[in-house]
Amino acid sequence: MRCMVATFHSIWLGLALALALAGPASAETDVAKHAKAKAERSVKKVLKDCEKELSSFCSQVTPGEGRLALCMMAHEDKISDSCYTSIFEFVDGVELGVSNLWRAANVCENDIEINCAEVQPGEGRIAQCLIDKKDAISTPCKAELSGLETRLKN
């Protein structure tokens, strides 16, 4: 028997992150645009794969603030394998993305302090700063950024 309870916090965090990324943007960086587009594609896949369940069990729920995710978890024993798999893949992708960002932040810590200290964090501004200053950053940081860019664009 599959157990969604183990992924409760990850699902909520992942869906909350996707909703935050899907919100209105102001002067988005390229990094933020790619991250937002990737999140929107993932959310659309979950909505498509879980359309029947959302309609059957959660049609009266007002979307936002994790309410749909909580509704789906309340009906976890009734969702289809394709919906469950889609949610699991979405959460896995979010966790991988967060892990990639943490790793890049750690590898590029000195480069951020040297080249982007004046940049306000958020909306991909620090990553965009490092990308814009590629010639001035360390080889390990360049490698992390290259991988991060590739993963965001795919």
Distance CA 40, CA 22 (A): 7
Q: Between residues 39 and 48, which one has the greater pLDDT? A: 48
What region does 122 belong to: left with phi over 0, alpha with psi -120 to 50, or beta? left
The pLDDT, as a whole number, for residue 27 is 53
pLDDT, average across residues 63-76: 87
pLDDT at 30 over 70: yes
Distance CA 130, CA 135 (A): 9
What tens digit of pLDDT does each residue of 85-105 get? 998 888 888 888 888 888 888
Is the pTM value of this prediction over 0.75?
no
The 3-state DSSP class for residue 41 equals helix
pLDDT at 24 over 70: no
Distance CA 46, CA 17 (A): 14
pLDDT at 79 over 80: yes
What tens digit of pLDDT does each residue of 104-146 get? 889 999 999 999 999 998 888 888 899 889 899 999 999 988 8
pLDDT at 34 over 90: no
Distance CA 103, CA 90 (A): 20
The 3-state DSSP class for residue 12 equals helix
Lowest mean per-residue pLDDT among 9-23, 51-65, 108-122 = 9-23
In the chain, the DSSP E strands lie at none
- Rg of the chain over Cα atoms, rounded to whole angstroms, equals 18
* Average pLDDT of every residue of the chain: 80
Distance CA 134, CA 115 (A): 10
